[in-house]
Amino acid sequence: MQLRKAAVIRAAYEHSVRFETEKMLRANMARRSQSSGRWLQEHFSDPFVQRAQAQGWRSRAVFKLEEIDLREKMVKSGAICLDLGAAPGAWSQYLHRRLGKTGRVVASDILPLTPLPGVEFVQGDFREREVFERILTVVPERQVDWVLSDMAPSMSGIDAVDQPRSMYLAELALDMAARVLKQGGGALIKVFQGAGFEALLGEARSRFAKVKLVKPAASRARSPEVYLLAKDFRLV
């Protein structure tokens, strides 16, 4: 009798756990669905999205680069640029138009990139040494004018996970810049303010004469992203 009673209690407990777990999962899925719905609604009503579609750009991100470029007088005709985290290709598309036929754009991303005229592409995970080294074989040694990175990790929504991942990508981009830039070159790198941010800023200041943070209008106000703009690379 006691064994049967214990089995009944255990079964009731397990049923309760399954019920609560399923309830939590349904709630999470509902929140994600609502969030996705809001994002889609916001996305398609976004004036930058509409402008990008009307003007033939691959994404709204082009307007972040355009604003910074024109305001800060970054790229010039004939320059050599390395675009990290390039897909879907709006920054590379913009750079190619700005640089003219005498310029050169090398792009890289873990995702495939629909071919762009005048843009050389290296596909692979930038965090892997083999891909990092492959990019170094494509760009001319110490001849790059600008390294640009709009890289961001796949976000989990957990800051303790997302922030270290984003900072690691920013650190790799800064390291790449130090490997390929010519004297006086520059870097534009997406960063997320949080743990590790001040250390990255200090590292940039040790390598470049001018360092500032910029947040273009096309960067959504709620996003913690800013862009680290570093100029006048010191070749030591």
Strand, coil or helix: what is 227? strand
Chain centroid, CA 21 distance in Å:
34
Distance CA 38, CA 43 (A): 8
Strand partners, 107: 83, 121
Q: Which residues are catalytic?
A: 190
Strand, coil or helix: what is 194? coil
Residue 123 DSSP code: E
In degrees and rounded to multiples of 5, residue 174 shows phi and psi of -65, -40
